[in-house]
Structure 1
Amino acid sequence: MAANSITAFSELCPFPGMRPYRPAEELLFTGRDQESARVSELWRTRNLTILYGPAGIGKTSLLHGGVMPYLWRLGANVLPVGRVSGGPIFPEAAVPSPNSLVRTLLRTWVPETSLPPTGIRRILRLAERGPKPLLVAVDQIEDMYLGDHDDERRELLAALAAARNVHLLLCVRDDRLDALLDEAGDGFPDVALFGLGGLTPRAAAEAIGQPVREATGRAVPPAVAEALVEELLTVRIVDDSGTQRARERAPAVNPLHLQAVCRWMWRTWPEGESSLSGDWPVSVDEALRDALWTAIGEVAAAFERDPVRLCSWAATRFVAPNGEAQVQPQGPAETAGLPNAVLRALSGRGVLRVLRAGDGPAYQVADRRLLEPLGQLAHRAGSLTPPVTRPADRLRAAADALADGDPARAERQARLAASAAAHDIRVQIDAHTVLGNIAFARRDLEQAQEAYRRVLVLLETQQDEAAVGVMLAAIGRLSLARGDVAAAQGLLRAAAGRLPADPFIRIELARALAEAGQRAAAVAILRSVMTAAEDDEARILHGRLMAEMSGRPA
């Protein structure tokens, strides 16, 4: 990272909190050097590496903050990290694939200023550079098990397994590891597993002090960092009467809990002090209660529920009267009186954890260190102010709902985001793009076009030529699908004008010309963009048109 990037952090908290680290925060990501080097080595030398662990253990942070920068320094040929759901919001109609998982994955692999090719094989071939293996990572692969994606999931895994000279890294939550191995293991000759655990006490202390020093020049004395770590490792089992029944020491520090404590430390840092004093008060339970309240509040807002009631429900169902953890087996549609989607959302935010057993999935508190803070929070929640739900939280909830196979909930959240940010053009763009994607998924092409056209007007005000080009291509493809060939031609020509170097917009334009009977014009465009590869999209279309023009079979 450049020096001016570090300076930019000096005005901000040097800890990301509940979100994962980003690639630009490499110098702030500490305590995982050995894990970063080991995962990088496995990824470079094995056909398939699976990085697994519970939600919140730091898999995404390890990938972005540790593994990717390590490989960049080695000069490895590595694609941007892919996702099968969520990720950057884009008009899905712009990506010519009927598989929703593949559409998202393809879009996360290419810059936002261009469109991806049709299939996984083509994009991987285009990314090849000489004899070096291409390193491909897909994060949060467990999302492909949500909703009704069985056929799409099998197609995706088969396409990844068929790729040549590609080393694949899949990041998966541990409760989906066995399912992933059953479906993907046979397709790869050489599979390596890496289970990510918590931070050692030494690594955790380093992760407290070094980011502050790197970003701000302030100091966290070793004694303060060690006290925070020790308190994070201390698990107290407290019953309903407030009596401590047991005390134990955890083997490692949960990174999500560490981030919660570090954010709290930053908020309470004495004004004007460059270093924390030895008598600075340690309040790990308060930090964990704050983090739990925020996570539960986000889930409550996403499902339009009362956060106080949801907090009380979580404590009652998952903390026994004696203070120990309780396990709740998952029901067919509901668990402990709430829809399973609510519990999945709580597990995704590190409040609960999914267990896989012979009788099926079950849920329990994500970490024993949360038992006491969750019980305390349930008694105090009624006096707390509900967390503020920002439009960005609504958009995240919409993405989660789509991944969960609930478009109705996704649509409600996207509309709430749009109405809550009436004067925020960026949120309006994202919210209406999501609404267009929802309509596109249910094959309501007219409504999808209407939503995308609204986004197009907003993008024009931002003078974002690349984004305008992509949106024009999406609307043009919808016009073609609706049989309005003339409109499709005009839109795709306009898209090509905004993105003249993008070959895939030109291919779509050629397709529209061919549909209108202008085969010669289509062939001329295809000749300018097709490659020698047999499966090249432009070459295939070119061959078909030439056959039609000559009257011979394609």
Structure 2
Amino acid sequence: MGGNGVGRRERRLDPAAGPVERFAAELRALRDSVGRPTYRTMADKVPFSVTALSQAAAGRQLPTLAVTLAYVDVCGGDAAEWERRWRAASAEAAALAGADEEARPPYRGLTRYEPGDAALFFGRDRLVDRLDGLTRERRFTAVFGPSGSGKSSLLRAGLIPRLRTPRTGADAPAAPAAVRILTPGAAPATTHADRLDPVPDTDADTWLIVDQFEELYTLCADPAERNAFVDRLLTATDPGSRLRVVVAVRADFLGRCAEHPGLTAALQDATLLAGPMSREELREAVVRPAAASSLVVERALTTRLLDEVEDAPGGLPLMSHALLETWRHRTGRTLTVTGYEAAGGLRGAVVRTAEEVYGELTVPQADLARRILLRLVAPGDGTPDTRRPAEHAELDLGDPDGTRAVLDRLVAARLLTFDDGTVELAHEALITAWPRLRGWIDAERDRLRVHRALSEAARTWLTLGRETAALYAGSRLAAAREAFARDRDGEPVPGELTPVESEFLTASLHRRRRAVWLRRGLSAVLALLVLVASGTAVVALRARATAQAERDDAVFGRVTAEADRLRETNAALSARLDVAALGMRTTPELRTALTTDAGRVLSARLPGHDDIGSAVAFAPDGRTLASGGHDGAVRLWDTAGSGRQLGEPLRIAGEPVGAVAYGPDGTVLVAAGHGGGIRLWDTRDRARPRPLGRPLVSHAGKSVTSVAFAPDGRILATVGDDGTLRLWDLSDPARPTPIGAPAHADARSVRDVAFAPDGRTLATAGHTGTVRLWRADGADGPVPLGGATHAHDAAVWSVAFSPDGDTLATAGYDDTVRLWEVPDTDGTGSDGTGSGGSAAGGGLRPLGEPLTAHTAAVWSVEFSPDGHTLASAAQDDTVILWNVANPAYPHRIGEPLTGHTEGLWDLAYGPDGRTLATTGADHSVRLWHLPDSVLTDFTNPLTAVAYDPTGRLFAAASTDDALVRLWDVGRPGPPRPLPRPLTGHEAPVLTAAFAPDGRTVASGAEDGTLRLWDVSDPAGPRPAAVVPDAHAGGVLTVAFAPDGRTLATGGVDERVRLWDVRDPDDVRPVGAPLTGHTDWVGAVAFAPDGHTLATGSQDKTARLWDVRDRDRPRPVGAPLTAHGDWVNAVAFAPKGHVLATGGRDRTVRLWDVTDPGRARPLGAELTGHRGGVTSVSFAPDGRTLASGGEDHAVRLWDVSDPAHADAFGDPLTGHLDTVTSVAFAPGGDTLASAGNDLTARIWTLDTDRALSRVCDRTGGDLTPTSWAELLPGLPYRPTC
């Protein structure tokens, strides 16, 4: 409604922009010269997809030579000529990329060197060698040094790359299992709890690098928290530990380290001092980074720098910043003394940079910068001042736009850094090197200390659910009041505190006032007790009511705070707490939270195992789940009902279980163990499985890591730690017999095996990073198909074939997932060479780039039954879903699935494709329910969503093969896709809308074509009219008049056009085009009475038009000019008196259009979106407005009083990219949204229905035990 996400449209090509766009423009011109054949027509003639051919001319990247020559061949071009052009464009693009590479600075400035900067990190080789040797001898090592001595860079750019570099030789140390970097922060034991244990099931060490260890004393105020963190680190000193710890500590905190006896003992002979660099080391640090970037440092500059830095304790960051600024002032390829002096020299460069940024700020921004910078400093207590990382919320001082602008400027100047969601000073040297900052700190030192205590107290109060007992009183309140309140009992000074801090101080002051009033009132009551005895009962009742209200507030606050805390780490538990809070009171925030919850992937936790859960598999009917664990048990779970365990656990001679699988008919279950045991059961009675035959002992008694049935169930494949692949004949499951000899599949261990759907092909995953394909239908056992494919840079843990067999997914210990095109497995490879014809070997061809969203080893991947989705499970405790409808361009679906508290080991899809099972190191098994309200059947971004007037049909338009898809949403249950999408456009579809009678759909495309479709039979829609050149450059928006006789369109040509659509098969233009806009028109909407048309344009205006006489439409009133950027969306309220507009300036505005000729703004602009607003839609009752934005959010607004409209609750979240369109269903209890993340979402706004969905998908009520763990001290309340 009123917008299609103007910001999403493909931009025009600019041949002057560079070789890629120029080459794309030339390809388009070639296609135009032969009549512009459709990409589908072209794809039918060459072995490349529609997407590959359309992307070749998109101008985003240079196509491959093969795709180029195919494109040219279809269009009749000269292959030799176009190969010459391609090579010239490729060379020019490479040269430009090289120039960009050369333009990267070789120095880091005040910021530390990271592992990726190792190639520029010089001068510390000897110190790195000593540290490397010491860390190999000691399991706990500390690096001490003064501020500015380069400790952080030493660890990150020196030690860590050394650890990650493979060593050779007999005495070479083993590669780490993992290298983790962290800084303590305010609550180190809590924050980093899941990172302090070594990687399980490996003999390799996990290295824990703790940078800025002094934060343990400057930021962590809780001694118990501090000691708990140190105690966890000290477990590394145990000789049997698989953890190694290296900490970097500022030298002036040595005494604080000695306060912990265990730490003192550990550091006795395990410390390294990072002292000043020698003159020769300094020379390397100056000259060699420049040489690595083909730059020269003037000899006189080198000498001068060495002289100055030698006499400057802690001068390394100052030198690095001075060199960075000198590089900016370089002459050609030379860093000169003149440039150094222009930058300000060693001590002046930081000052000059900081003062230049500060001087360019406005007065309000400068004051905001002062307050932000002071929040990033921890005043010393007997030690020098230190920097202090702060979360973004701590910098919310009432002006989000101003804060963002100031932070952007300071970060661009490298004075601040963003790191893991926090902001901090780039280096502590800034505190001493910048006199202005130093002066601010000295002037406000006492106030800073008061603020640090206040901030911590407010955070604790919030965590405790705003408990009254946690508020300030006495001397602490007096100090905070004096520092931050207007007067003795006044409100906090605006802009000095965050909302939470301000709320905490206000509540503390209010409680103090109440206490004073109560004391005064008590005296009066005692004096008049005899006279007003009867009134005391009233007073008591009121006091009791007040106390109860305060207790209710505290309970509600604790529940909602806990829900918010868990929202990113355990979505299901957070949602259950939202339900609990809703039982206490209903708020807009809870209603929108439940709407978001109902659209998320939620899980129910099964009791699981007594040790690591290692494997899961669904029975083919989906009613039973088998899970295996290191407790030696195979457990069967009823997934069709209660989720209870069925019968007694099954066992394999006491071995830890490593793999489970069901046969294709569901009557046979196989499990394999760590001692080489393999056991089969008859599961026709799922509560009492019956063993089949005797256990098999195989794989030389080593772990069997994976098992897989052939699709017909006649063959079982097993792999193990002996490096072999074995096949078994299951013609008689009670007597499995080997088929041929074992095949050696990996030099170390085979981690997984999977059958292709054809039943003849197998894939195996190797510990050495390789994947192999095998022929598995012969009597001689497995036969390799070509060579091995080097698939990952570390062990491959999982392989899975897509249901059509064309794609293979692999998961690796290198934290990545990869997709591969599977060759024709006829034994010769796809090119008949016998090697598969791939540079990778093995015939597998990589599809796209590795998927890198996980942050730890990925242990399992599986395709959904329809092949459109891939799920990956990793040691980072998350599952990620991927849209792989086009496997060459996979996209993430939604946020990672959270709930497990330790790494995941295995996952499995249920046969319905809507259920996932996972298990892992936290011993649990989880069932995930994938919401049917998220539609993922797209391979390209969506541009529009719409409901028909009956609410029976739903349409979504996308650039996906230039089509519009339809769903039946009129029946109970999930949306049902209709079999025939609306195809016929030859360019991306940018907009779509239903006619008022629901029998016609209009759509507009990027090539300027307007189409109408007859959907009176939704299952058999047919094309109606086609208007080839409705708008030059593209049709951006369409809208039907309420009577259905007229259609309005807006386009790239800056015009609005009206069309007579009474006969959908014969569409004719009406009147002259509406002109007046001076840029693209991306939004049109008719008023409910059909008399007025609203339009929105990139010229930053909205306009109103009188269209009562559609042959002679005319503008009404002046343009609406309140937006500061593109007007992307327009929509009329149902009664027609209010117009909503949305703009790229991040605002929504309401207008009184009762008299369209005198339209006027209503109330203040609606703010909250953090990116441009792309679409707006009114609910049918007119009381709610929805908006979608570039910030990936959908927002709801209460517009029941348009002059005082306000946000309703919190944003609806789930999209991962721009929300391009929003539309209410006719009933008003459902809202649809479309996104550039390739999904459409259907949100339920009915709170009862949302609550029911959450309860159904999370296992119902919280148990009393879970309640007590989460909310100790609060009385239990049923949640569902």
Tell me the TM-score normalised to structure 1 length.
0.53
Question: Where does residue 126 of structure 2 map in the other structure?
Answer: 34
**Structure 1 residues 281 and 65: alpha-carbon distance in aligned structure 2, compared to 1, 3 A threshold:** closer
Tell me, yes or no, if structure 1 residue 135 matches structure 2 residue 210.
no
**Structure 1 residues 527 and 162: alpha-carbon distance in aligned structure 2, compared to 1, 3 A threshold:** farther
Q: Does the Cα contact within 8 Å between 2:570 and 2:898 map onto a contact in 1? A: no
- Per-residue CA deviations over 1:325-363 (Å, capped at 9, x if unaligned) read xxxxxxxxxxxxx99x9598288xxxxxx6xxxxx6054
Question: Where does residue 228 of structure 2 map in the other structure?
Answer: 155
Tell me, yes or no, if structure 1 residue 264 matches structure 2 residue 325.
yes
Within 5 Å, give how 1:520-535 maps onto structure 2: 529-530=919-920
- Per-residue CA deviations over 1:384-416 (Å, capped at 9, x if unaligned) read x99944599596796559x96636999979989
**Structure 1 residues 102 and 365: alpha-carbon distance in aligned structure 2, compared to 1, 3 A threshold:** closer
Question: Where does residue 377 of structure 2 map in the other structure?
Answer: 345
Greater relative CO, 1 or 2 (CA 8 Å, sep 6+)? 1
Q: SS state of the match for residue 16, structure 1?
A: coil
Deviation at 1:28, TM superposition (A): 0.5
Q: SS state of the match for residue 143, structure 2?
A: strand
State the alpha-carbon separation in 2 of the partners of residues 8 and 386 from structure 1: 26
State the alpha-carbon separation in 2 of the partners of residues 219 and 195 from structure 1: 32
Deviation at 1:485, TM superposition (A): 11
Deviation at 1:305, TM superposition (A): 10
Question: Where does residue 111 of structure 1 map in the other structure?
Answer: none
Question: Where does residue 53 of structure 2 map in the other structure?
Answer: none
Deviation at 1:275, TM superposition (A): 3.1
**Structure 1 residues 24 and 180: alpha-carbon distance in aligned structure 2, compared to 1, 3 A threshold:** same
- Per-residue CA deviations over 1:140-184 (Å, capped at 9, x if unaligned) read 122122142322111111122224232211111222222223324
Question: Where does residue 135 of structure 2 map in the other structure?
Answer: 43
**Structure 1 residues 187 and 296: alpha-carbon distance in aligned structure 2, compared to 1, 3 A threshold:** farther
State the alpha-carbon separation in 2 of the partners of residues 386 and 136 from structure 1: 31
Aligned partner of 1:136: which letter?
L
The partner residue of 1:501 within 873, 884, 895 is 873
Question: Where does residue 347 of structure 2 map in the other structure?
Answer: 288
The partner residue of 1:174 within 251, 256, 260 is 251
What number of residue pairs does the alignment pair up?
A: 374
State the alpha-carbon separation in 1 of the partners of residues 215 and 385 from structure 2: 20
State the alpha-carbon separation in 2 of the partners of residues 255 and 500 from structure 1: 44
Question: Where does residue 25 of structure 1 map in the other structure?
Answer: 117
Residues 279-288 or 406-415, more deviating: 406-415
**Structure 1 residues 205 and 387: alpha-carbon distance in aligned structure 2, compared to 1, 3 A threshold:** farther
Question: Where does residue 120 of structure 1 map in the other structure?
Answer: 196
Question: Where does residue 382 of structure 1 map in the other structure?
Answer: none
Aligned partner of 1:478: which letter?
S
For the pair shown, the structure with the greater C-alpha radius of gyration is 2
State the alpha-carbon separation in 1 of the partners of residues 408 and 126 from structure 2: 37
Where do 5+ consecutive residues of structure 2 fail to align? 1-95, 168-173, 388-405, 425-447, 463-494, 500-555, 583-593, 606-868, 880-896, 902-914, 926-1262, 1264-1280
Deviation at 1:196, TM superposition (A): 1.0
Q: Does the Cα contact within 8 Å between 2:344 and 2:352 map onto a contact in 1? A: no
The partner residue of 1:60 within 148, 152, 158 is 152
**Structure 1 residues 190 and 307: alpha-carbon distance in aligned structure 2, compared to 1, 3 A threshold:** same
Where do 5+ consecutive residues of structure 1 fail to align? 87-98, 107-117, 234-248, 311-337, 348-353, 355-359, 367-384, 417-441, 454-470, 512-524, 540-547, 549-554
Question: Where does residue 201 of structure 1 map in the other structure?
Answer: 279
Aligned partner of 1:493: which letter?
L
Question: Where does residue 464 of structure 1 map in the other structure?
Answer: none
- Per-residue CA deviations over 1:13-64 (Å, capped at 9, x if unaligned) read 1111011011111111111101111111111210211112222221111111
Aligned partner of 1:20: which letter?
R
Q: Does the Cα contact within 8 Å between 1:51 and 1:59 map onto a contact in 2? A: yes
Deviation at 1:365, TM superposition (A): 12
Q: SS state of the match for residue 144, structure 2?
A: strand
State the alpha-carbon separation in 2 of the partners of residues 492 and 19 from structure 1: 39
Within 5 Å, give how 1:98-497 maps onto structure 2: 100-105=187-192, 118=194, 120-121=196-197, 124-126=198-200, 129-130=202-203, 132-145=204-217, 146-163=219-236, 164-183=241-260, 184-185=262-263, 188=266, 191-215=269-293, 217-233=294-310, 249=311, 254-270=315-331, 273-276=332-335, 282=341, 286-292=345-351, 342=374, 345=377, 361-363=382-384, 388-389=409-410, 393=416, 399=423, 406=455, 446=560, 471=568, 473-482=569-578, 484=580, 491-493=600-602
State the alpha-carbon separation in 1 of the partners of residues 141 and 337 from structure 2: 44
Q: Does the Cα contact within 8 Å between 1:228 and 1:284 map onto a contact in 2? A: no
Aligned partner of 1:210: which letter?
R
Question: Where does residue 747 of structure 2 map in the other structure?
Answer: none
Q: Does the Cα contact within 8 Å between 1:77 and 1:134 map onto a contact in 2? A: yes
Aligned partner of 1:148: which letter?
A
Q: Does the Cα contact within 8 Å between 2:377 and 2:385 map onto a contact in 1? A: no
Aligned partner of 2:254: which letter?
L
Deviation at 1:286, TM superposition (A): 3.9
**Structure 1 residues 151 and 362: alpha-carbon distance in aligned structure 2, compared to 1, 3 A threshold:** closer
Q: Does the Cα contact within 8 Å between 1:47 and 1:189 map onto a contact in 2? A: no
Q: Does the Cα contact within 8 Å between 2:564 and 2:574 map onto a contact in 1? A: no
**Structure 1 residues 142 and 305: alpha-carbon distance in aligned structure 2, compared to 1, 3 A threshold:** farther
RMSD over equivalenced CA pairs, Å:
5.5
- Per-residue CA deviations over 1:290-334 (Å, capped at 9, x if unaligned) read 314656999999xx9968998xxxxxxxxxxxxxxxxxxxxxxxx
Q: SS state of the match for residue 82, structure 1?
A: strand
State the alpha-carbon separation in 1 of the partners of residues 452 and 923 from structure 2: 32
- Per-residue CA deviations over 1:465-497 (Å, capped at 9, x if unaligned) read xxxxxx4x5443323445559967974537999
State the alpha-carbon separation in 2 of the partners of residues 297 and 229 from structure 1: 26
State the alpha-carbon separation in 2 of the partners of residues 409 and 10 from structure 1: 48
Question: Where does residue 810 of structure 2 map in the other structure?
Answer: none
Question: Where does residue 372 of structure 1 map in the other structure?
Answer: none
Q: Does the Cα contact within 8 Å between 1:46 and 1:190 map onto a contact in 2? A: no
Q: Does the Cα contact within 8 Å between 1:299 and 1:346 map onto a contact in 2? A: no
Deviation at 1:253, TM superposition (A): 6.9
Tell me the TM-score normalised to structure 2 length.
0.25
* Structure that is richer in helix per residue: 1
Aligned partner of 1:220: which letter?
V
